[in-house]
Amino acid sequence: MTEQYTLYFEETDADKRKALLDAIGKEEGDTPACRLCGRLWEMRYVDPKSGRRVDLFLWELVELLCLYSTAGLMKKGNSRDAKKALDAMGISEAARYGAEGEAVLYEELCNAVRLYLRTCDSKSYHKRLLGLMEMKEAEWQQKVARDMWRLSVGLPRRLAMEEEFSPLAKAVRDEFCRSFENGKQLLEEREERERRGKDKKQ
């Protein structure tokens, strides 16, 4: 990955990313990596219906989290919705480019997860009890870990779609662990909580 691509994947502002990508295109030409980056940029930031600037990857992350709560009840329908969400995040598109596409997609998904994690630091996310109380730091971290576990382990497991989710799951785990020094421990604790919860139900 060249320095220009590193800067591109580190940046989270859509317009600044577009400027960086245009500069890469002028310097490198129509390479497969640049072409895929451009396609993923369009899929992520351009609403196909209105053409307005959006962030559809963030939207799909939220949609997938919502699917978790009903995944055990309507598995067939939710599997279809999950696949649709994954395709909207470029999984199928990147597969056409082989290993290079996999590497580009991983960086793009990490970028989206990094931005999502920043939104988790908002005041509203820190609230509990109908927004009347603010969480302590440890409680907030556990909440974020719960969401990351659901995206990377819980939902794929419930839908028996571990293979389909693997590109996103890896990006979620890696970016969470980069953002939180105790990220690996938090995910392991969440897995243990879920296991104990199931044991109690049996």
Q: Where are the domains of the chain?
A: 3-201
Spacing of C-alpha 167 from chain mean position: 9
Write down the residue that tokens 């691509």 correspond to.
Answer: 5
Contacts of 169 (CB under 8 A, 6+ apart): 151, 152, 153, 156, 162
| pLDDT value of residue 130 | 41
Rounded CA separation 101/165 (Å): 16
Residue 71 and residue 78 in contact, taking contact as beta carbons nearer than 8 Å:
yes
CA-wise closest residue to 170 among 90, 102, 121, 117? 102
Spacing of C-alpha 17 from chain mean position: 18
pLDDT confidence band for 132 (50 / 70 / 90)? very low
Whole-number percent of the chain with pLDDT over 70: 88
Lowest-confidence region among 59-68, 111-120, 130-139: 130-139
Rounded CA separation 181/136 (Å): 17
Lowest-confidence region among 66-70, 112-116, 118-122, 193-197: 118-122
Q: Is 51 helix (H, G, I), strand (E, B) or coil?
A: coil
